[in-house]
Amino acid sequence: MSHWYRAGLAFALTLVGARAEGQANAGDAAVVVRAARLLDVKAGRYVDNPVVVVRGERIESVTSGGPLPGGARVIDLGDATLLPGLIDAHSHLLKNNAPRFFDGNNLVRDVTSENTATRVLRGAAMAREDLEAGITTVRDVGNSGINGDVALRDAIENGYVPGPRIMACTRALSPTGGQFPRLASESQELIEREYVPVNGADEARKAVRQAIYYGADCIKVIVDAGPLLMSREELDAIVTEAHRYGRTVAAHAASEAAIRVATEAHVNSIEHAFALQEDLARSMATNGVFLVPNDYPLDVYLMGVPRTPEQRRESEQQYRWFTTRSRNRLAIAVRSGVRIAAGSDMYNDIGMSRGAASLLILGAYAEAGLPPVEIVRAITINAAELLGKAGDIGSLERGKYADMIAVPGDPLRDALTLQRARFVMKGGRVVRNDAARP
């Protein structure tokens, strides 16, 4: 063992020890968070004058006007509403594309002009912006190069960079070609930088095991890509293998055929589901499949794309049809008893922070007629249950992580107040406190 290796190892162990000591010290002293009210997202009602006692990373108690522990540091947020940290069940933190390019062209640009390290560094910036907006957990569903999302997750967990908790999917499993446009035969190797194409049940099982080996917390599968569709046998193999190892399965499915086969295979969630109809929605509800709708208000689809007035009118007409159809399918899902988990699918630079842009989905949910309490649940407890993490996140309860935000106003009347977090805590550490600024 060389001198430099021993010195480096000693330095690393010193850093680890210092971090562990800091965490232990943080656990000795209590922090109390107070506000005018706290939203119990499960019951859908407020707790007045809450006292949330935090010790270390977790919540020790939640009471109404209860006593304060001796020596506790008190954070009094005044006339604000406390809620659990928000959860984005469909993020792409390592992407921030120019909206003037089509998705297929952006994919080619991602894998040919940038290496994974560059994309991870961008992801660190996007992660910080998510966290500062109150998004304390994300499920990152691919388009991260070869395991870039795992690297970012580990960097955040080790305290190297700030960001939300990340459930990483690694590369998405897909039909041949992934979601790329048709590529020349000499360029086919580019596909495997972003996707793991599978053909047959045996390859599907192998791909799941490979993803888990690389550090996947969940499995993303592209059910329909252009004219190609995953088979029932392939999906059954993916779901069975993933569930065997305690991983959930997120299924990109846009067409009726894709929604049907994914539902029959008992995936955990269907992303998008643009072609959802009443019968498919009832099947999703029966099979306990969540819908993750990645919808936005009309104005958002028109952001950031330079157009002539004539082009803008044409785009507005097209997107108006699309948004109307999207609102109708979300209403169908809700009427049919499908559980909704919020997911942004935000991956474009539209001129605002990633966190602020991602939370614009809440406006679309409101336009579809979701009551405010259900919008709040979609981005908290429902998303936590989809991710299999309801024991740790999604509500403010004893024993859960101290992930919380404070917003002005009344989220039970206007869920869009969640877009205006003025206090953010993750794991007992204050990320943002606007009231404390000079």
pLDDT in tens, 315-341: 888 889 999 999 999 999 999 999 999
State the average pLDDT for the chain: 91
8 A C-beta contact, residue 127 and residue 165 = no
pLDDT band at 361 (very low <50, low <70, confident <90, very high): very high
Q: Give the pLDDT mean for 406-423.
A: 98
Strands 218-222, 228-229: pairing is: unpaired
Nearest to 252, CA basis, from 279, 222, 277: 222
Write the CB contacts of 352 (distance below 8 Å, at least 6 apart in sequence).
none
Contacts 24+ apart (CB under 8 A), 417-421: 417/81, 418/83, 418/86, 418/134, 418/359, 418/362, 418/375, 418/376, 418/379, 419/133, 419/356, 419/359, 419/360, 419/362, 421/86, 421/133, 421/134
Banded pLDDT at 23 (limits 50, 70, 90): very low
DSSP-assigned beta bridge partners for residue 253: 272
Q: Is 200 left (phi over 0), alpha (psi -120 to 50) or beta?
A: left
Distance, C-alpha 247 to centroid of its chain: 16
Residue range 134-165, pLDDT digits in tens? 999 999 999 999 999 999 999 999 999 999 99
Q: Which pLDDT tens digit goes with each residue over 185-218?
A: 888 888 889 999 999 999 999 999 999 999 999 9
Q: Which pairing describes strands 248-253 and 269-272: parallel, antiparallel, or unpaired?
A: parallel
Q: b vs e for 156-166, b when ≥16 Cβ sit within 10 Å of the residue's Cβ? A: beeeebbbbbb
Least confident of 122-131, 154-163, 297-306: 297-306
What is the C-alpha separation between 186 and 202, in angstroms, rounded? 26
Q: Are 418 and 99 in contact (CB under 8 A)?
A: no
CA neighbor of 83 nearest in space, from 16, 24, 25, 36: 36
Band (pLDDT 50/70/90 cuts) for residue 411 is: very high
Question: Distance between CA 250 and CA 258 in Å, rounded?
Answer: 13
The one-letter code for the residue type at 420 is: R
Q: Work out the average pLDDT over 377-397.
A: 98
Residue 60's CB is within 10 A of a number of other CB atoms, namely 17
Q: Nearest 5 degrees, angle CA 307-CA 107-CA 121?
A: 100
Per DSSP bridges, beta strands 165-168 and 290-292 are unpaired
pLDDT in tens, 68-113: 899 999 999 999 999 999 999 999 999 998 775 567 778 888 888 8
Q: Give 16's pLDDT tier (boundaries 50, 70, 90).
A: very low
CA 80 to chain centre: 25
Mean pLDDT across the stretch 238-263?
A: 98
CA angle, 347 then 350 then 355, to 5°: 65
Contact 192, 241 (CB under 8 A): no
What is the rounded distance in angstroms from the CA atom of residue 149 to the CA atom of residue 141? 9
pTM as predicted: 0.92
Looking at residue 275, the DSSP 8-state letter turns out to be T
Q: Average pLDDT, stretch 361-378? A: 97
Check pLDDT > 70 for residue 257: yes
> To which residue do tokens 């010193």 refer?
14
Q: What are phi and psi of 265, to 5 degrees?
A: -85, -5
pLDDT tens digit sequence for 242-251? 999 999 999 9
